[in-house]
Amino acid sequence: MTPFAAFLIVLSAALHATWNMLVKKSRTGLAIYATLCTVGAAWTFPVRFFTPLGFFSQPPAFYGWLALMLVSEFSYAYGLLASYRRLDMSVAYPVMRSLPILMLAGLTTAFGFGKPLSPTAVTGMCIAFAGCLVLPFSTFSEFRLSRYFDKSFVFVFFVALGTTGYTLCDSQAQKVLVEAARAAGVEAPKAVLSVTYYSYRSLLLAAAMWIAVLCGRRSRAEAASLFENRSWTPLLAGCCSSMTYVLVLVAMHFVTNVAYVQAFRQAGLLFGLAEAVFVLKERCTAPKLVGTALILTGLALSTL
């Protein structure tokens, strides 16, 4: 991983923690997530008038990865909103961000996506994963693996599965886009390729989410309430959400294996913990501090 990629991912991690804090604080449902997606679709919409990569001229594999991405995003959104209704951010956020580390490393290794991970990187990911697991507890004596099988944590697993799925799908879809551009003799900077892909991705996702909102009576009422109250929270969260993932998509071009991106994004846990404690007024415990130290150590090793 290059220093530039590391910088992009750390900035992305800070924005990611911020929009999660805003969603947790708002206590709303699918309508707010649909709004987040709409903000991303809106600010990247003009890109389609300048990009040399047409949406309908891509290989079939591109659309297949996009379809799988949508399924993963719905799993992510459902799990995220349900988790924040039942758990504190300082509990849910570390677990939902830690599980995809090993999931994605296992998938990329099993299917041969990217350069094989080094033993040092795998060790670092395991250490970061261990740090994430101890974060949710008030004291070390409370640590029980059975805690993660509580019904509230079922929704966290949906988030982890969704995160793993869309990260892998987006990485592969971008590779198809780049290869198609080269085959067509199209020259474009990597940032343009990433923003182009995000524009297509966000438009499809926003449309799918709003269809889901309109299909539910409760979600329609929540959407109406957001518009009536003229709340700025969804718009601010949407700006943070869209920018965080564009930065990740750009960073994917500067790493040899997408699992490095997923591991280093866990820096967001540090920002998430700080915002949970200082903004949401949640407790800061010894396990959270030790877990944070383990995450830092693991992240350092995973980039070597």
Give the length of the chain.
304
Q: What is the DSSP letter of 27?
A: T
What pLDDT, in 10s, does the model give residues 160-186?
899 889 988 998 999 999 898 888 888
Number of domains in the chain: 1
Q: What is the pLDDT of residue 38?
A: 93
Residue with the larger pLDDT of the pair 215 and 296: 215
CA atoms of 37 and 241, how far apart (whole Å): 8
- Domain span holding position 96: 3-28+54-195+231-302
pLDDT band of 262, cuts 50, 70, 90: low
Is 189 part of a structural domain of the chain? yes
Is 34 part of a structural domain of the chain? no
Average pLDDT over residues 45-54: 83
pLDDT value at 95 more than 90: no
Is 119 part of a structural domain of the chain? yes
Is 37 part of a structural domain of the chain? no
Is 208 part of a structural domain of the chain? no
Is 22 part of a structural domain of the chain? yes
Q: What is the pLDDT of residue 42?
A: 92
CA atoms of 181 and 58, how far apart (whole Å): 9
CA atoms of 60 and 235, how far apart (whole Å): 34
Residue with the larger pLDDT of the pair 59 and 249: 59
Is 103 part of a structural domain of the chain? yes
Residue 39, CA distances (Å) to 12, 53, 214, 267 in order: 17, 22, 18, 24
Is 77 part of a structural domain of the chain? yes
pLDDT value at 206 more than 80: yes
